[in-house]
Amino acid sequence: MVAGALLWVAASAHAAQTLDVLHWWTSISERQAANSLATALAGEQITWRDAAIPGGAGVGAFKVLKSRVLSGHAPDVAQLIGPTIGDWAQLGLLLELDDVATDEDWQTAFFPTVWKLSRFQRHVVAVPVGIHRINNLYYRPEVFAEFGLLPPRNWAEFERVAAHLQRAGITPLAQSSEPWQVATLFETLLLAETGPAFYRQLLRQRDPNDWLDARVRRALERLRSLKRWMPQPLAQRSWDEMARGFARGDAAMWVMGDWARGELNSFGLEVDRHFGCAAVPGTAGMHLYSVDTFAMLSDDYGKQRQQEAFARLAASVPVQLTYNRIKGSVPVRRDIDPAQLDPCSRQSWQTFGQGEAVQAPSIVHRMATDEGMKDAIIAQVHRYFSEDQIPATEVQRRLAAISKALK
Ligand code: GAL
């Protein structure tokens, strides 16, 4: 009996030191980045119990999270990102991290947009770990050098570069047909056409008529016209498979969020030496962002100490530098030394630091709308991209109608 009781005490003490973490980081660099957080936690005798759900952009992880919460098996920590964190907070599911935030002076340390994304109704409900930039054009410098080409700054230059490459038998632009990846390309084109102010208005003010704007039509038409520079037919490949293909030389350019840079680095490739990084044409000086945040799920405060330790550590300067270097994102803090970042990250961090005027929230990566609108945009854009007979104006009308219905 006594031995049994002791065992139970030991087991529960052990369990109390463990945090069950649900996230969607399964590529090589994502795994390494998660491991860097787990190592930091281990330093405080807290074990990261991994609950990774494959699927880029969290497509699967969000569904699993919902079903785990509904069945009473919520993880202790979950990768919950964007304004919908508020829905979870409103249900009383999230631990408030106000004490940690005050002790660590997060409000001063974080960029204002990041600070806003960590809060709901004046309470801190998530810890931010990194800022991703989506509007990146990766290119292969050796191919550009061979043909005397420069990374295109606008779409006219892009067309010239792409035509040149195609004539030389090189696929100009890599792309997967996975819906979220198509929509990720689209949101960069939307930003290029509209600029950050109209982009934000379209998604935030939700005036259905904005979807009928000529700039939206032009972004859709650009999306379709880019198909002629992509391999046909397009394969449905995960983004990390795409990164491997790009590293092998499948195409000369690729538009993807900078988690791709983390992945290319994990293959031993370095920015400026093995691959180049520029802004998507027409978006220099703009920052289409996705901020990764973790929220702490709590019903009985049984893991509060460990959850607070997680939050404190994840946002600390040393962990921010180590983690983000691997992940491809940049620190959420304003008080780091940018000399520590590679040129591409420095560009991202400094651009984001210019403030809201240059920032645009990613639709696909949950920064801009609720889940319903995000899913509708992805579905409509993907359908339009796959079926050439659908006119852009039909997609615009549908998105206006959906936006009205969901408002
Ligand atoms: C984003 C997320 C990144 C990265 C990417 C690919 O939504 O912010 O951290 O994981 O998806 O899955």
Task: Tell me the DSSP string of 296-315.
Answer: EB-SSSTTHHHHHHHHHHHT
For the whole prediction, is pTM greater than 0.85? yes
CA of 58 to the centre of ligand 1 (A): 7
> Per-block average pLDDT, block size 10, for the chain (407 residues)?
43 68 98 98 97 93 94 96 94 97 98 98 97 98 98 98 98 98 98 98 95 98 98 96 98 98 98 97 98 94 96 98 98 97 97 98 96 97 98 98 93
The confidence score (pLDDT) of residue 16 equals: 57
Residue nearest to atom 7 of ligand 1 (CA): 57
Query: Ligand 1 atom closest to Cα of 239?
Result: 6
The confidence score (pLDDT) of residue 300 equals: 86
The confidence score (pLDDT) of residue 15 equals: 52
- Distance between CA atoms of residues 361 and 355, nearest Å: 12
Q: Quick one: which of 120, 107, 116, 114 has its CA closest to 352?
A: 114
Query: Ligand 1 atom closest to Cα of 364?
Result: 7
| Degrees to nearest 5, angle at CA 107 with 104 and 111 | 115
> How many distinct helices (H) and strands (E) make up the chain?
18, 12
Give the fold, CATH level 3, of 136-288+359-406. Answer: D-Maltodextrin-Binding Protein; domain 2 (3.40.190)
In 3-state terms, what secondary structure has residue 54?
A: coil
Residue nearest to atom 12 of ligand 1 (CA): 56
Mutate to test the pocket of ligand 1, among 65, 84, 365 (most ligand atoms within 8 A of CB): 365
Do β-strands 359-361 and 287-296 pair in parallel, antiparallel, or remain unpaired?
parallel
Q: Quick one: which of 265, 267, 253, 276 has its CA closest to 141?
A: 276
The confidence score (pLDDT) of residue 73 equals: 94
Give, to the nearest 10 degrees, the angle between helix 371-386 and helix 392-406. Answer: 170
| Degrees to nearest 5, angle at CA 226 with 192 and 190 | 25
CA of 71 to the centre of ligand 1 (A): 26
CA of 134 to the centre of ligand 1 (A): 10
The confidence score (pLDDT) of residue 9 equals: 42
| The two structure tokens encoding residue 390 | 């659908």
In angstroms, how far is CA 222 from the centroid of its own chain?
A: 23
CATH of 14-132+291-356, picked from 3.40.50.12280, 3.30.450.40, 3.40.640.10, 3.40.190.10, is: 3.40.190.10
Around ligand 1, the residues with Cβ closer than 6 Å are 24-25, 30, 56-58, 132, 239, 257, 259, 290, 292, 365
| The two structure tokens encoding residue 197 | 């102010």
Domain segments of the chain as ranges: 14-132+291-356, 136-288+359-406
- Distance between CA atoms of residues 102 and 315, nearest Å: 13
The confidence score (pLDDT) of residue 407 equals: 83
- One-letter amino acid at 160 equals R
CA of 291 to the centre of ligand 1 (A): 9
Q: Do residues 68 and 75 lie in contact, with contact meaning Cβ atoms separated by under 8 Å?
A: yes
